Amino acid sequence: MQATKRQVALAIIASALGFFVDLYDIIIVSIVRRASLLGVGVPESELLSKGVWLLNVQMAGMLTGGFIWGIIGDRFGRLSVLFGSILLYSSTTFANAYVGSYDWYLALRFLAGVGLAGELGAAITLVSEQMPQRWRGLGPAVIASCGMLGAIFGAYIGGRYSWQFTYQLGGVMGFVLILLRLGVVESGIYERTKAMTSRRGDLSLLWKKKGYLLRYVSIILLGFPGWFVNGVVMTFTPEIARAMGMSQIPSVSTVFTMFFIGFTFGDMSCGVFSQFLQSRKKAILWYLLVFSAGIVAYFIWGRTTLSLYYGLFILLGISAGYTIVLLTLAAEQFGANIRATVTTSALNLIRGSVIPQATLFSWLTLWLGAAYSAMIVGALSIGLAFWALGNLEETFHKNLDYVEE
C-alpha cells in the first residue's frame, strides 16, 4: 500500500529530527573530548592518544551496530530500527554524564555507537521507499539538512556548557523524539518484500552476485573524505593548527560549527543538484572536485588567518554534502530485501573509516608531525573516493520495488 502524502511528510520530519539528535550525539565526543577526559582523570599528556582510542571505540560500536540494525531493518522492518536504535543511544548518552572512569567512558561510548548506527540508514531506506520515484532524492536531502543542525547545536552546547550537561541533553532529546515516531508507518515496499522472499538481510548475496561486493566496497570508500575531515582535521584541530605554525589556535567547537553550517547547505544543494542533473553520480563528482580543491586550499592558505581557517571549513562542509546523495545512491543499488542492511552497514563502515584514518594519522605524527600526516591521510582518502565513484551504477531512474535472489 502506497503511503499518503501526510505519512511521507511525517516520516521525513521524524527522520530529520532523529538525525538531528543522532548527529548531535555523534559529534559531542569530539567537542568535549579534552574536558571530559580530564574530568575522568586522564592526564594532559595522554589526551591525544586516549582521545583517539575513545573516538575509535565509539566508531567500533557503530561498525558493529551497522550490521545489527541493518539486518533487523530487513528482517523485522525499518520502524523497528528507528525505535530500537534511538532508545539505546539516548539511554547510554544520558548515562555518560555520570561516568566516573575512563574505562566506563569507553564502554558507554561503545554502546552508544551501536545505537547511533541504526538511525540514518533506516531513515534513508524508509523515506526512499515511500517517496515517488522522481522526487525521492529530495527526502533524504531534507533529512540530512535538518540533521546537520544537530551537529551545529552540539558544537554550540559543547563549547559553552559542561561536558556532563552536553551528554544529559543528548539523552533527553532522544527520549522526547520517540513520541513523535509513533505515527510513522512502515514502508509498503518492505511489506511486499516479506511475501516475496525469506532471504531478508542476507549479505551473502553480495558475494554471490557478480560485481555486488565491489559496488558495496566502493560506496564505503566514496564516503572516506567527509570522515577524514570530521575524524582527523576537525577533531585534532589544535594539534594540526599548531603544527601548521598558527599562533592563535582555532576553537574545535567553532570549527565544527563552520563545517556543519556548510554541510547543512551542501546536503540540500547536492540533493537538488542531483535532481536537476537527473544523476546521482554527476552531482557527487562535482562536489568531490570542489572538496579536493578545498583541502588543497586548507593546507596551503588555512594557516594565514583565523577567519580564513574557519571560512575554509564552510567550503569543506558544503562540498562534503554529497554524502547524503551517496546514501541515496547506496539505497538504490540493491534490492529491498537487503537494502536496509547494505545502506545501514555501509553508512557505518563509512563512519568507521575514521578508525584507520585517525590511527594512521596518529602513527604518522610520530615521524612527520600532525600537519604532514593529515596531508597524507587526506590524499589517500580522496584518491580512493574518485576510484570508487567509477565502480557504481547510475540509479536516478531506477525502480526500487524488487528483491535480490
What's the pLDDT band for 247 if we cut at 50, 70, 90?
A: confident
* Fold designation for 5-389: Growth Hormone; Chain: A; (1.20.1250)
**pLDDT per position as a tens digit, 28-68:** 888 888 888 988 888 888 887 788 888 888 888 988 998 89
- pLDDT value at residue 128: 80
**374-381: which pairs have CB atoms within 8 A and are 24 or more residues apart?**
374/232, 374/233, 374/236, 374/240, 374/299, 375/299, 377/228, 377/232, 378/225, 378/228, 378/232, 378/233, 378/295, 378/299, 381/224, 381/225, 381/227, 381/228, 381/353, 381/357
Q: How many whole angstroms from its chain centre is CA 6? A: 27
What's the one-letter identity of residue 324? I
Q: Coil, strand or helix: which one is 314? A: helix
% of the chain beyond a pLDDT of 90: 34
Q: Coil, strand or helix: which one is 124? A: helix
Checking if the pLDDT of 1 tops 60, the result is no
**pLDDT per position as a tens digit, 318-332:** 999 898 889 888 888
Measure CA of the first residue to CA of the last residue in the chain; give whole Å.
23
Q: What mean pLDDT do residues 367-383 have?
A: 94
The domain segmentation of the chain, as residue ranges, is: 5-389
State the burial class of residue 17 (Cβ atoms within 10 Å of its Cβ: 0-12, 13-18, 19+): buried
Q: Report how far residue 343's alpha carbon sits from residue 307's, in angstroms, rounded to the nearest whole number.
A: 37
Read off the C-alpha cell for 330: 547506496
**pLDDT per position as a tens digit, 134-156:** 777 777 778 877 777 887 888 88
Read off the C-alpha cell for 389: 565513484
**pLDDT per position as a tens digit, 283-319:** 999 999 999 999 999 999 988 889 999 999 999 999 9
**pLDDT per position as a tens digit, 170-181:** 999 988 888 877
Q: What mean pLDDT do residues 224-229 have?
A: 93
What's the pLDDT band for 382 if we cut at 50, 70, 90?
A: very high
**Which of 1-5, 14-18, 281-285, 358-362 has the highest mean predicted lDDT (pLDDT)?**
281-285
**pLDDT per position as a tens digit, 102-131:** 999 999 999 999 998 888 888 888 888 787
Mean pLDDT of the chain: 86
Checking if the pLDDT of 241 tops 70, the result is yes
